[in-house]
Amino acid sequence: MSGNINLLSDTLAAAKAEDRAALIAYLPAGFPTVDGGIEAIKAAFDGGADVVEVGLPHSDPVLDGPVIQTADDIALRGGVRIADVMRTVREAHTATGKPVLVMTYWNPIDRYGVERFTAELADAGGAGCILPDLPVQEAALWREHAEKHGLATVFVVAPSSRDARLAEITAAGSGFVYAASLMGVTGTRESVGAQAEDLVTRTRATRSDLPVCVGLGVSDAAQAAEVAAFADGVIVGSAFVKRMLDAPDDTAGVEAVRALAADLAKGVRRGV
């Protein structure tokens, strides 16, 4: 089976055609359990997410704030493996027909084997990978195998990225560009701010036709609407994970994910 980069591109284009931003949810695989994580992803789609990023839990997550670190710890203590991540992608995509990506640091892929990882992700129906710590100049091997299997390669840009670097990243990436709204780790914020809008403007100025999706900090419909006014996609992670961590049981956690997705979906449609 070839990958689903076209499904991802079509989904983002369909949101644009509706004059709105896409809603992209992030949830870690294996949290609270592998089965529970799959149910949470289905609930996010059911609530209104257009795309879901499945996090590959890592023991040294440099970009992730305390909420996602807590979820990753639970998943790792539960024994989550890359095979469970692939199963999560497969079941979530098969059940919904929607685009599912994996977000992972480079080290687990490097250890697993790039060819093996990309082949298995494509076979599972995955749309691609977000690689926050893989430098573009070191990405040739990954990109070769990702392109062979029809997978998107999503790079992360930050407010500190200079214009020449942005151009290099947009030229090398596919699917969309992940714009980190703030310097620092993930987590909900009081404001997602002007830095993010400036970063989106500068990224688009590279003359790339890739959608620019903003993550790090969005936690409610009002913030989603704020970001949706200037971005092609709104990425929400910590807020979903926090709802699950705060829930009294797994069933309530899944329902909390569905409700938040519905609320955020209204936010990205505000003003349409």
Provide the domain count of the chain: 1
**In terms of Cα–Cα distance, which of 83, 29, 23 is closest to 51?**
23
Average pLDDT of span 239-263: 97
Pairing of strands 233-236, 212-215: parallel
For 142, other C-beta atoms within 10 Å of its C-beta total 20
- What is the model's pLDDT at position 108? 95
Greater pLDDT, 232 or 188: 232
At residue 185, does pLDDT exceed 80?
A: no
- Which residues have CB under 8 Å from 22's CB, separation 6+? 11, 12, 15, 16, 50, 51, 211, 213, 232, 233, 234, 268
- Cα distances (Å, whole numbers) of residue 192 to 16, 60, 176, 219, 267: 21, 25, 20, 10, 14
At residue 39, does pLDDT exceed 70?
A: yes
Say which CATH number the domain at 146 has.
3.20.20.70
Active-site hit among 39, 50, 53, 91: 53
At residue 217, does pLDDT exceed 90?
A: no
- What is the model's pLDDT at position 131? 95
Q: What pTM value is reported for the model? A: 0.94
Active-site hit among 10, 19, 46, 64: 64
At residue 78, does pLDDT exceed 60?
A: yes
Residue 142 backbone phi and psi in degrees, to 5: -60, -50
Judge whether 53 counts as a catalytic residue. Answer: yes
Tokens of 10: 């079509």
Helix (H, G, I), strand (E, B) or coil at 21: coil
Judge whether 198 counts as a catalytic residue. Answer: no
Tokens of 53: 């990023």
Tokens of 207: 């003359």
Tokens of 70: 């807590």
Domain that holds residue 50: 4-269
Cα gap 213→55, rounded to integer Å: 17
Cα gap 136→207, rounded to integer Å: 18
- What is the model's pLDDT at position 201? 95
Average pLDDT of span 254-263: 98
- What is the model's pLDDT at position 266? 97
At 168, is the pLDDT very low, low, confident or very high (cuts 50, 70, 90)? very high
Cα gap 172→86, rounded to integer Å: 25
At 66, is the pLDDT very low, low, confident or very high (cuts 50, 70, 90)? confident
Sign of CA dihedral 33, 188, 12, 175: negative
Average pLDDT of span 196-217: 92
Tokens of 169: 């990243």
- What is the model's pLDDT at position 1? 40
At residue 162, does pLDDT exceed 80?
A: yes
Which stretch, 55-59, 67-71, 172-176, 215-219, has highest mean pLDDT?
Answer: 172-176
Helix (H, G, I), strand (E, B) or coil at 134: coil
At 116, is the pLDDT very low, low, confident or very high (cuts 50, 70, 90)? very high
- What is the model's pLDDT at position 216? 74
- Which residues have CB under 8 Å from 56's CB, separation 6+? 28, 29, 82, 85, 102, 103, 104, 105, 108
Cα gap 229→153, rounded to integer Å: 25
Greater pLDDT, 62 or 118: 118
**In terms of Cα–Cα distance, which of 261, 266, 252 is closest to 43?**
261
